[in-house]
Copies of this chain bind each other. A is one copy, B any other.
Amino acid sequence: MADKINGIDIRILKLLSKNARLTYKELAEILGTTRQRISRRMDRLERNGVIQKYTVIPNYDALGYVHVILGVTVKPGVDLDDVINAIKDDENVKIIQRALGSHNLVIHIVGPKDMKELERIITDVSKKVPGIDKLDITFVTETVKFEVL
């Protein structure tokens, strides 16, 4: 990243993390600056990849979906890039994170409430991951707190 992140960037990010729909005008008023400056800083944060995405946190249960987290530990020597390539276009796989520690890979699946169908999806995804040493399956039942920054 060529440009340094400064105090105004952090304040913009904190406000957007609470409400990503704040307009340039609203942000400018809260932070006592101009829309132009807000727009310029946000463009930069997006270009630099500091802001990866503006998104919605939905209640999956209300939408008829189940949210499953797979914590994958692969055997030593397995190339994580190969694993990621094998699963990244799967439409049921929503989040993929490389990791260190208990798990090497964290995979989020959003699927239907039908348990038979969900089992098929989880089995399908696991089959695509070669060299699994350990697989932790966690079904999220409720998001009690969700903050970003």
- Which residues of A approach B to under 8 Å, CB–CB? 1, 5, 10, 13, 16-21, 48-59, 62-63, 69, 71, 84, 88, 93-103, 106, 110, 136-149
Contact = CB atoms under 8 A, between A and B. Distances in A.
Given A102-B137, A140-B106, A57 B97 contact: no
Given A102-B136, A136-B71, A97 B142 contact: yes
Nearest to A100: B139
A136 B104 CA distance: 12
Given A62-B1, A99-B140, A142-B98, A148 B52 contact: no
Contacts of A144: 84, 88, 96-98
| Copies of this chain in the oligomer | 2
Contacts of A51: 56-59
A100 B118 CA distance: 15
B58 A141 contact: no
Contacts of A95: 143, 145-147
Tell which of A48, A51, A101 has the most Cβ of chain B within 10 Å: A101
Contacts of A148: 55-58, 94
Given A52-B56, A54-B54, A54-B57, 6 more contacts: A17-B56, A19-B55, A56-B149, A63-B149, A69-B99, A101-B137
